[in-house]
Structure 1
Amino acid sequence: MAQRKENIVMFPLMAQGHTIPFLALALHLENTNRYTITFVNTPSNLKKLKSSLPQNSSIHLREIPFDGIAHDLPPCTENSDSLPFHLFPNFFESTLSFKPHFRKLINGLIDEQNGHKPVCIIADMFFAWSAEIAQEYGIFNALFVGGGSFGFACFYSLWLNLPHRDSDEFLLPDFPEASRIHVTQMTKFLRLADGSDSLSVFFQKVLPQWMNADGILFNTVEELDKIGLMYFSRKLGRPVWPVGSLLLSTGSRAGAGKEYGISTELCKNWLDTKPCNSVIYVSFGSQNTIAASQMMQLAMALEACGKNFIWVVKPPLGFDMNSEFRANEWLPEGFEERIKDSGQGLVVQKWAPQVEILSHKSISAFLSHCGWNSVLEALSHRVPIIG
């Protein structure tokens, strides 16, 4: 009789930067052949995710209901990708509505297994309320942070020590190792936060609840990130484990919920025509873009430098990220035609097969927003990063 495999329940935030490391961790755990994995998310996200799983994967995808309209989000919104920045407070607040549905889901899983409980619940860093449910059922609960611990130590301290308006530079009272923080390093939300705005209320409710978890996992390695790991160990008094670096394979990365603006084959064929270490890859992540004026200047610089490039473009700041990219307004006149005719560059709208690009021998450098997934992917393929 085959030995029963323990079940691990995993529930990431509905965002590309969170789903990718969660899926990488799920596949890693599955490959140990010791666990079954129940991967929880909303219906449309699971539908997109399904194509990323290997054909022989036994990961179970479990739907949880979500009503974005009830939280003043656009119809059919089930993730943060391409969500306007002013709606992010609504999006984060909406995730609190998962709690009763998740409790019901865990109860159902236990009933299906004739009273046998999952061995562990691994929840997103913003789903710290999951610890209460795990404790109700006597299940080990870990929060998983898909990024590096130093950056999130700054994030954690900044949101719990509001406001930050007295000076342009300041020290974090509980994280002096971070040195001085300048206001230009903070997001607009942080610069305006005073503790009473909706985003402050959310973070000041959720972040202290990390102390209720049985442990915190980070997608990092201790050799690179010891200071941040020490901060959380000191701050939370809970075990803190670096479990990285977790990366999806090229095949799995492609299906993490995105439709590319260029086929992987076409992209590879173009790169194959370029000399080794001759192409600059430019991309600013799944939820970031630049101002229209910066976009125009960057286009002019890329063309003038004479280097080959692949540039992933999205509508500039202030425009709907889901809207059509208006090259005639945001790029120099005739730019796309010139670089296409000359073979100097590829302009890709919205999404590109990033891992396949970074792993190609013709790539020489990566101009990036330095999101953690992008950093790890670049490091794993030895591609220098320009931040």
Structure 2
Amino acid sequence: MGKPQAHVVLFPLPAQGHMSPFLSLATRLHHYRPGLTITLVSTPHNINSIRSSLPPDSGLNLHSLPVYPVDHGLPAGAESTADLPVELYIIFFKAIESLHSAFDEFISSHVSNASNSAPLCIVSDYFCSWTVDIARKHKVIHATFITLSAFGGAVFFSLWLNHPHKLTERDPFPLPEYPEVLIHRSQVSQYMLASDGTDEGSQFFQRQLMFMNNTNAVMVNTVEEFEPLGLSMLRKTLKFPIWPISPPLAPVGQPSSSKSDEETEIMTFLDSRPPASVLYISFGSQYTIQPGQMMQLAQGLEGSGCAFIWVIRPPIGFDPKGEFKDVWLPHGFKHRIKPKHMGLLVHGWAPQLKILSHISTGAFLSHCGWNSILESMFYGVPIIAWPVCGEQFYNSMMVVELGMGIELARGVMDSSMPVKEKVEEVVELVMGSNAKGLEIRERAKECRDVMKKAWNEEGGSSMKSLLEFFKLINI
């Protein structure tokens, strides 16, 4: 008889920024170990969505765990952070935590039906670190996957654990575990600034940190060469193996690859422009900005004369999935940019990887979600940073430190309003033929080369981390 088949169970947080890295990780696991059984667990709506977009050869099994959002005071059908405003996220995280019994039953059934020598490993999102209790109960291996950057994760954990902004009037202030790192209050989300250690958010994240201390290893969604500081910070405070393992940029779990009329229009627009001449603008799958900020950004774009593709949704204070109104943009803006063939306003979803990989794309004005930064790095596209929430502020710090971008604005408060002239200045600096712009574009290309080398089978850093994971589960 052959060696018993190992089984890896993936448990991501139901949020686009977390699901995508897990799906890409599944792609990489299947590629290098096609005999491995891989199962992703999530809530019914998410499972149905993933199933509809999986290629037939994905090698990924799916298992649904029942969740009842209404029982937790959430809207019916709210099975992802995309269905909720930020202020309800903590309640949603706790609703996912209530899947403990259902997940325990699922693991129990697999342990009892499997050969005693068949390894089983749970790989959970940091936000689902409570799964380590189930792993210990059934004596199976547990690994935690941090879908954030290493630096962003280390700062995020320190803020929730210590609340250093409450301990000093200094601004910027140091982190207790990492005194060399200084954080400005403008780089801390409002909900975190209001926390004091006794609130539900603090208690949830402190609980996950406590659970994570019992995991066997941590995988981080990053590249070793990009994050010497962030990885050293995590290795200082987490006393188990930490493996940087940036997943491939596979379009698994995204909308169908068949072209819509809007996608055709986007690609036609890009095909018509010179190389590196188009600015791509997106605040991710669920973020937006204030009405006044939207107005200033539009005025600055028009004033710069730069061609752009802007994935746009209603501003803060309005239904993000509602109809977009022209009054949120300068009077006549849409009618002026169209005949000039200057820009496209895209409502809803856009094929981000196709846009970033296109020769005409010259820069990415991004909210600095970590997946977006990795995608920009992969294609060597410079970043104009506008972080709005969470660890995005610390990702922006990394972009500037790496030399592949410039921060335009920070946050969505009125005090962080980038005026029209500032938008024009930064767009020209990054997109223009000046010395600074050339330097940024060259650095972005260097980051692209480093990222691709990480998966070199003859010793790339991410490849080494993957092999260490395979050793952990004995395959």
Which TM-score band (shorter chain)? over 0.9
Q: Distance in 1 between matches of 2:74 and 2:320?
A: 15
Q: Which residue of 1 aligns with 2:279?
A: 280
Q: Which residue of 1 aligns with 2:421?
A: none
Q: Which residue of 2 aligns with 1:136?
A: 137
Q: Which residue of 2 aligns with 1:195?
A: 197
CA 1:247–1:292 in 2, change beyond 3 Å: closer, same or farther?
Answer: farther
Q: What SS does structure 2 have at the residue aligned with 1:81?
A: helix
- TM-superposed CA distance for 1:151, in Å, is 0.9
CA 1:19–1:261 in 2, change beyond 3 Å: closer, same or farther?
Answer: farther
The unaligned stretches of length 5 or more in structure 2 are 386-475
Contact 1:122–1:142, Cα closer than 8 Å, also in 2? yes
Describe how 1:8-23 pairs up with structure 2 within 5 A: 8-23=8-23
Q: What SS does structure 1 have at the residue aligned with 2:227?
A: helix
Task: Calculate percent identity across the aligned residue pairs.
Answer: 42
Contact 1:14–1:78, Cα closer than 8 Å, also in 2? yes
Contact 1:262–1:348, Cα closer than 8 Å, also in 2? no
CA 1:314–1:187 in 2, change beyond 3 Å: closer, same or farther?
Answer: same
Q: Distance in 1 between matches of 2:114 and 2:339?
A: 61
Q: Distance in 2 between matches of 1:364 and 1:82?
A: 32
Describe how 1:287-298 pairs up with structure 2 within 5 A: 287-298=286-297
Q: What SS does structure 2 have at the residue aligned with 1:147?
A: coil
Contact 1:82–1:320, Cα closer than 8 Å, also in 2? no
Describe how 1:27-106 pairs up with structure 2 within 5 A: 27-32=27-32, 33-106=34-107
Q: Distance in 2 between matches of 1:281 and 1:126?
A: 30
Amino acid at match of 1:313: I
Quick check: 1:271 aligned with 2:273? Answer: no
Quick check: 1:26 aligned with 2:31? Answer: no
Q: What SS does structure 2 have at the residue aligned with 1:141?
A: strand
Describe how 1:337-352 pairs up with structure 2 within 5 A: 337-352=335-350
- TM-superposed CA distance for 1:4, in Å, is 4.2
Alignment TM-score, normalising by the size of structure 1: 0.93
Contact 2:164–2:173, Cα closer than 8 Å, also in 1? no
Q: Distance in 2 between matches of 1:221 and 1:336?
A: 40
Aligned residues: 382
- TM-superposed CA distance for 1:263, in Å, is 4.0
- TM-superposed CA distance for 1:78, in Å, is 0.4
C-alpha distance after superposition, 1:110-137 (max 9, x if no partner): 3454667552110010111111111111
Alignment TM-score, normalising by the size of structure 2: 0.76
Q: Which residue of 2 aligns with 1:209?
A: 211
Q: Which residue of 2 aligns with 1:329?
A: 327
Q: What SS does structure 2 have at the residue aligned with 1:24?
A: helix
CA 1:76–1:116 in 2, change beyond 3 Å: closer, same or farther?
Answer: farther
Amino acid at match of 1:375: I
The unaligned stretches of length 5 or more in structure 1 are none
C-alpha distance after superposition, 1:280-310 (max 9, x if no partner): 0001112321111000111111122211100
Q: Distance in 1 between matches of 2:16 and 2:128?
A: 16
Q: Which residue of 2 aligns with 1:170?
A: 173
Contact 1:312–1:347, Cα closer than 8 Å, also in 2? yes
Q: Distance in 1 between matches of 2:249 and 2:79?
A: 22
Higher mean displacement: 368-377 or 314-323 = 314-323
Q: Which residue of 2 aligns with 1:378?
A: 376
Q: Distance in 1 between matches of 2:353 and 2:223?
A: 20
Contact 1:259–1:351, Cα closer than 8 Å, also in 2? no
Describe how 1:217-236 pairs up with structure 2 within 5 A: 217-236=219-238
Q: What SS does structure 1 have at the residue aligned with 2:165?
A: coil
Contact 1:38–1:61, Cα closer than 8 Å, also in 2? yes
Q: Distance in 2 between matches of 1:225 and 1:177?
A: 15
CA 1:118–1:330 in 2, change beyond 3 Å: closer, same or farther?
Answer: farther
For residue 363 of structure 1, the aligned residue among 355, 361, 364 is 361
Q: Distance in 2 between matches of 1:317 and 1:287?
A: 11
Amino acid at match of 1:58: G
Q: What SS does structure 2 have at the residue aligned with 1:176?
A: coil
Higher mean displacement: 115-124 or 169-178 = 115-124
Contact 1:261–1:352, Cα closer than 8 Å, also in 2? no
Amino acid at match of 1:172: L
